[in-house]
Structure 1
Amino acid sequence: MHKFLIHYKGDHVGVAVQDIAANEKVQGVFMDDNTTIDVRAKAAIPLGHKIAIANVEEEAKVIEYKVPIGFAPNGLKVGDYVHTHNLKTLRW
């Protein structure tokens, strides 16, 4: 059973459709082709929040919906909880 959804291949994050526990191995589904990916969560991730499914280098843009949604000042590692503490807007 999947616990998160990824909108498109190439996105860096998925969205939790159920709460995810820290250190839980969870499956995600790519909505564009129904393939799956397994990720171990590094922290608890609440319903509706993001999990990193790809490593992102420091200061690099983070992709969701095939577009940049912000940047990661300190980078991201697969399984990271992605939220305002490690994702910054590109707008200001």
Structure 2
Amino acid sequence: MKMKKRAVGVLAATFAAAALPIVVASPASADQGDCQYYLHEAGYKVGPKIEAACESGDQFSPTAYGSCLMGLLNIGVRVDHAQSACGLAGA
């Protein structure tokens, strides 16, 4: 019985060690490049204004998504494209 408990403990520790990197890993590494590529594929000319908006969406702050969204909307990007692009920038 003692041996069985020990084996279960070792298996649990092994499982936890294997699962830990998956649990603490960041979500898929989307960034400003993904934002820019999405907009390029949607037919927009990627220039300094799109680059700046996508970069602002890549920041780790509570206002990053909104900053990206407003930056893109102000230069004429459609709402649905801006939402998707900014989601990719900060995901």
Mark yes or no: TM-score above 0.5: no
Larger Rg: 2
TM-score normalised per structure 2? 0.20
Q: Which has the bigger relative contact order, CA under 8 A and spacing at least 6?
A: 2
TM-score normalised per structure 1? 0.20
More strand by share: 1
